[in-house]
């Protein structure tokens, strides 16, 4: 019952959340990059990883976006069934995106897909992309994951035959080879398996939100080792770490289908969350 | 692996001595250009129109910077500050690069991720320099001045920003003017490994 929040405060917290996501990487990501730098043998790849670590430090210290591609803004909202904001949450999120574009600032990236006209404030038809999930409880959890185009453009989805479970790894490897240095490795790979055409892609994206320091399954490790054996390395210049982690998410699917989506994430695995309301 | 410190505008001689894998730092003027700017540069060339900027000995930076207007400036010309300005994916400009190099004596292209099928067009005249993708805050520190902007009607990321840089780098020579392409070599190796482990 005490789950009402103030609209202005809400928008302000979202702008702060966006600033945090764009300027600071979480410890699990930074630690994974540090480890990659420490074990890298190729001097070129090592120099690239060192530049990335220096860049992360400058961005955080100066409070500026770590990458000029501040992405399109993707929100994941977990709305408690007993949380009643008392205002239009979607409109408030859109307002926060436009405000953050001015204040952080963010690069205006949202364009009409056909005319290519830029809206100027990172909002538009269907943008920011807001994913709603109704959950039990009194809280509201919002995660923002800004996604750059370099890595998104290299992502892929394929409808495999149901008998091709053994080829899932090959599809991931093909996707990574085609991507080469373009998506700014070292990567995080989100693999969505099952569901439907669109569900697989959403699972892959959700997999990218997983922390990098959780233990991987045998299947995830097998894919990761194969990806790193390719030797593409940091920025595609050759080296021992092409990916930092592989996370797989599955859903049941039609007996005649095997959708597989590979969502590629660059080294700047940006996301931040806040939890509001409730007293659980 | 040599280290070079070059000043713009660059000559053919400047770039012919660079070899794939060398490290380069650039001082002087660089121009940002990505998808839309490339398309417009080619349109100008096709129509025989003169560009509002010179590409003679120029360094093109595949970059769509995040800029902030800081004031109205002199003579009503807005003043800009670079907030974040790392390289964008060069692969998208692969097809437009050979005709661009045909029309203009661009001497270096800075970007990330490499380019496909441009080695021939680069031969004896231009090099591709890789800057660490995503290192936009670091790059912004090496950009000392926003000299001017052209074609702002294309939008902030797609406009041509003329930037003064000091010791911009480290840049890795990814494709040299003799046809060596590190990205292609890495890809070839990756494909070989894949053919061995493929189920």
Distance CA B97, CA A207 (A): 36
Residue whose entry in the numeric block shows the structure tokens 């008998």: A163
Give the domain range for residue B56: 3-197
Please state the ipTM of this predicted complex: 0.90
Phi, psi of B108, deg, nearest 5: -150, 145
Query: Which residues in chain B have their CB less than 8 angstroms from residue A54's CB?
Result: 135, 138
List the single residue in A43, A66, A116 with the smallest CB-CB distance to B136. A66
**Residues of chain B found within 8 Å of residue A231, distances taken between Cβ atoms:** 186, 189-190, 193
* DSSP letter string, A158-189: EEE-GGGGGGHHHHHHHHHHHHTTTT-SSEEE
Instruction: Count how many domains chain B has.
Output: 1
pLDDT at A2: 47
Q: Identify the H or E element spanning A18.
A: helix A7-23
Domain boundaries, chain A: 150-265
pLDDT at position B78 over 90: no
User: Using an 8 Å Cβ cutoff, are A193 and A250 in contact?
Assistant: yes
What confidence tier does B130 reach under pLDDT thresholds 50, 70, 90?
very high
Go through chain B and tell me how many residues it has: 199
Looking at B38, B62, B104, B150, which residue is catalytic?
Answer: B38
Q: What is the pLDDT of residue A237?
A: 96
pLDDT for A28 equals 98
- The two beta strands, B66-71 and B59-61, are unpaired
- pLDDT tens per residue across span A66-103: 999 999 999 999 999 999 999 999 999 999 999 999 99
pLDDT digits (tens, 9 = 90+) for B151-194: 999 999 999 999 999 999 999 999 999 999 999 999 999 999 99
Question: What are the tens digits of pLDDT across the range A174-226?
Answer: 999 999 999 999 999 999 999 999 999 999 999 999 999 999 999 999 999 99
Residue with tokens 């410890």: A27
Alpha-helical runs (H) found in B83-158 = 97-103, 119-122, 136-142
Q: Would you tell me how many other CB atoms lie within 10 Å of the CB of residue B182? A: 22
CA distance A272 to B67: 24
Answer yes or no: is pLDDT of B74 > 90: no
pTM, 2 dp? 0.93
Q: Tens digit of pLDDT for each residue in A224-255?
A: 999 999 999 999 999 999 999 999 999 999 99
Is the pLDDT confidence value at A162 over 90? yes
CA distance A141 to chain B (A): 28
Q: How many Å apart are CA B139 and CA B47, to the nearest integer? A: 35
Which phi-psi region, left, alpha or beta, contains residue B31 (left: φ > 0; alpha: ψ -120 to 50)?
beta
CA distance A34 to B5: 29
Task: Tell if the CB–CB gap between A180 and B194 is shorter than 8 Å.
Answer: no
B62 belongs to the catalytic site: no
Residue B89 sits in a domain whose CATH number is 3.20.130.10
Using 50, 70 and 90 to split pLDDT, how confident is the model at A1? very low
> What share of residues in chain A are helix, strand, coil (percent, to 5)?
40, 20, 35
The rounded distance, in Å, linking the Cα atoms of A94 and A129 is 10
Give the separation between CA A101 and CA A199, rounded to whole angstroms. Answer: 30
Number of Cβ pairs closer than 8 Å across A and B?
A: 171
């Amino acid at each position: 019952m005490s789950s009402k929040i103030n609209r202005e405060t809400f928008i302000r917290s979202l702008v702060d959340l966006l600033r945090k996501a764009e300027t600071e990487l979480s410890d699990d990501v930074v630690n994974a990059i540090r480890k990659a730098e420490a074990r890298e043998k190729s001097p070129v790849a090592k120099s690239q990883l060192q530049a990335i670590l220096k860049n992360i430090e400058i961005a955080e210290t100066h409070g500026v976006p770590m990458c000029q591609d501040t992405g399109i803004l993707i929100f994941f909202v977990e709305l408690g069934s007993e949380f009643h904001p008392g205002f239009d949450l979607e409109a408030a999120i859109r307002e926060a995106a436009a405000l953050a574009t001015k204040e952080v600032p963010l690069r205006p990236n949202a364009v009409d897909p056909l005319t290519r006209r830029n809206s100027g404030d990172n909002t538009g038809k269907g943008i920011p992309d807001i994913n709603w999930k109704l959950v039990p409880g009194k809280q509201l959890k919002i995660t923002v994951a800004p996604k750059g185009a370099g890595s998104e453009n290299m992502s892929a989805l394929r409808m495999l035959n149901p008998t091709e479970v053994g080829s899932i790894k090959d599809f991931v490897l093909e996707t990574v080879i085609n991507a080469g240095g373009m998506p700014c490795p070292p990567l995080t790979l989100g693999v969505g398996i099952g569901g439907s055409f669109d569900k697989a892609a959403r699972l892959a994206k959700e997999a990218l939100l997983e922390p990098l320091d959780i233990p991987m399954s045998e299947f995830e490790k097998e894919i990761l080792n194969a990806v790193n054996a390719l030797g593409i390395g940091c920025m595609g210049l050759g080296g021992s770490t092409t990916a930092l982690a592989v996370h797989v998410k599955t859903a049941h699917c039609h007996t005649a289908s095997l959708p597989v989506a590979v969502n590629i994430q660059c080294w700047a695995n940006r996301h931040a969350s806040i939890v509001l309301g409730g007293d659980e | 692996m040599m280290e070079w410190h070059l000043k713009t505008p660059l000559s053919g001689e400047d770039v012919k001595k660079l070899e794939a894998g060398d490290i380069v730092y650039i001082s002087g003027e660089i121009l940002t250009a990505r998808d839309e700017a490339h398309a417009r540069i080619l349109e100008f060339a096709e129509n025989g129109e003169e560009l509002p900027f010179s590409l003679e000995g120029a360094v093109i930076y595949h970059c769509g910077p995040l800029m902030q207007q800081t004031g109205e400036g002199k003579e009503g010309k807005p003043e800009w500050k670079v907030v974040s300005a790392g390289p964008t994916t060069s692969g998208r400009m692969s097809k437009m690069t050979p005709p661009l190099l045909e029309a203009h004596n661009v001497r270096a292209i800075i970007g990330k991720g490499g380019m496909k099928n441009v080695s021939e067009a680069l031969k004896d005249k231009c090099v591709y320099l890789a800057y660490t993708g995503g290192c936009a805050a670091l790059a912004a520190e090496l950009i000392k001045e926003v000299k001017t902007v052209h074609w702002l009607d294309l939008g902030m990321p797609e406009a041509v920003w003329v930037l003064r840089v000091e010791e911009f780098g480290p840049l890795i020579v990814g494709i040299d003017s003799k046809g060596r392409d590190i990205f292609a070599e890495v890809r070839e190796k990756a494909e070989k490994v894949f053919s061995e482990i493929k189920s």
